[in-house]
Amino acid sequence: MGRLKLYAGLEKIDMISNELLITIKHQLYNTQKSIVKISGSSMEPLLIDGDYVIIISDISSVNIGAVYLIEYYGQLLLHRCVQVEQNYICFKGDNSLRIERIEEKNI
């Protein structure tokens, strides 16, 4: 069993089924929390493949340096906020080169 971590936001959960995505969204909507097992290496060494995180959906603002669960082109990613621009928020895995730029209205 992986380690359990608590975060006020969301690392990379590789391609997941629509059913799992709907389940996570349903849990967040109804209880404000969901436990998710992550896969991938984009947030190493903070999070490793097999870790569990508790997702909390009660977020009133996005803070640089915090880790958030985001939906990006059909993938759920647990990445760190690295920049806040006028209309966009940028996220990046700690062990990743790619930056995900998301319109603020989609957060």
**95 CA to centre of own chain:** 14
Q: Comparing C-alpha atoms, which of 45, 53, 83 is closest to residue 65?
A: 83
Instruction: Determine contact, residues 92/78, Cβ cutoff 8 Å.
Output: no
Asked if the peptide bond before residue 45 counts as cis, ω within 30 degrees of 0, the response is yes
Convert the pLDDT of each residue in 27-60 to its tens digit: 666 767 777 788 888 989 888 888 888 877 766 7
Convert the pLDDT of each residue in 63-84 to its tens digit: 899 888 888 887 888 899 999 9
**55 CA to centre of own chain:** 8
pTM for the model stands at 0.71
